[in-house]
Structures are given as structure tokens and as C-alpha cells.
Structure 1
């Protein structure tokens, strides 16, 4: 179960996250202290070190081969983290890690 939860979490899908792991940005629920960031060019080790320092980074994960990084801060909330990283000229975009839930509906079952 833990493997699925990690996969869903990396994809931004809620898999039973605790309330303390969430916050609100512009009225939408997001992962607490996290942002998704993409650099304009290839990320160098020096870029990652600077990113970790500016974000008070607890963890930086690459999301597949998309070029997107998930950054988790020790101290900054999601809105502050997005604002801080968006100021960098080498960042293409930074946005909160929105929580997405699958809605109910018809469930397809294997026969």
C-alpha cells in the first residue's frame, strides 16, 4: 500500500493525507510546504544547492522525466514558497502542489 500511496502523492493525488499535511492557497487545497517547480534549462547541481537554501528545503524530488521538481520546505508555507521560487529568472514556473481527488462515478470492474 505504501508504494501506491507514494506514487499517488508524487502525482498530486490525495491518498489519505492528514489535515496537517494540507493548507489552502487561493481557496484551493494544496500539500503543505510544497511546490512544483520547473527550470527553464537543465538543472545543475549548483542550482539544486541554491534552491535547497532559498526554500529551506527538506526534500527535493524529481517527478518522472518531466523536468518538474517537487520541493518541500522545512519552514515556508506553500504560498511563500511559490512566491520565493517564482522570482528566480531561471524558473519557468512554480506552483502549489494541488491536491486532486478522484470523484465518484461509475466504477469499472475487471471481469
Structure 2
């Protein structure tokens, strides 16, 4: 007597519900989240010095940004530092401008 397996048909009910798929993706994404790194006041001062140096000599920087549990890097040139709104305006390599708040910055590296 041969066993007739239904193959993927037996799993179709699980993959047919978009809510289950979205829930599983959200669960995987939540497992990859990181806590916001604690930035020391001395590190903040060092970030400020690197940003001023990069602006003065028109050097590109890589700024690591923490947002909603994930860090991302933006590479470009510091265009303007706005002390009133506590934001950096960065011109990225692709020509777009990004506004970054001071609180979201976790690392600054001068490239050139």
C-alpha cells in the first residue's frame, strides 16, 4: 500500500491568510530590534567636533542613525546644522537632502 501525500496542499491554509503572514513577519522583525545605544556626553562632543570638521573642509561623513529599533547609515556631506530645531541637514550621495535629529545619531565617521 503506497502513501499518497498531498504535498503542499496540506499547508495551503496557513499561507492563504494574509493576517498570519503579516503576523509572522512582524514577529521576525520584532526579534531583530535593538535597544537604543546609550551615547555618552563625551561621545556627543566628539560627534560635534567631527561634524564641524567635516563641514569646514567639505568632507563626506557616514552617520549611523537609530530609528524604531534599527540602525541605518547615511553617507553624504553635512549641509547645515540647525541649533533651533536640533537637526542636521545632510546632502546624500544621490543628491537628496535628509533631516536628522541630534537624538537619533549614534555614530559619526569622517570618510575623507
TM-score of the pair, normalised by structure 1 = 0.23
Bigger share in helix: 2
- Rg larger in structure: 2
